[in-house]
Amino acid sequence: NAVALLVVFFFVTWLLRTPFGRIAVGIRENETRVSLMGYDVRARKTALFAIGAGIAGLAGGLFANWAEIVTPGLFSLGQSAEIIIWCIVGGLGTRFGPILGAITQKKK
């Protein structure tokens, strides 16, 4: 699991340094400006959604392997709120922040 975390972390870091990643950051900051610069915002957002879905699928597969059983009861409102808290504690808009937030919240 730690290997997958590192692979995804370095993949996202690499992706954000590419021209595609710079456009993605531009879309986050000011979508209209990026659109007026001539980039297809809808296509970029679709690609980013697909990349995020792939990362979420990898995480879900690793979770299912760890938990050995996956039922709807595992994913309650409290679990969803806890994951959002991890991201907020770590800092929104950073790559290392949610990791740090999850570590500090799980230590308690």
CB 105 within 8 A of CB 97: no
For residue 105, pLDDT beyond 60: yes
20 dihedral zone (left: phi>0; alpha: psi -120 to 50; beta)? alpha
pLDDT single digits (tens) 15-69 = 999 999 999 999 999 999 999 999 999 999 999 999 999 999 998 898 888 888 8
Q: Please, are residues 25 and 44 in contact by the beta-carbon 8 Å criterion?
A: no
Cβ neighbours, 10 Å, residue 60: 11
Dist CA 1 CA 9 (whole Å): 12
Two tokens, residue 7: 């692979």
pTM, rounded to two decimals: 0.81
Which pLDDT score, from 0 to 100, does residue 22 have?
96
Stronger pLDDT, 5 or 42, i.e. the higher one: 42
Higher-confidence residue: 23 or 92? Answer: 23
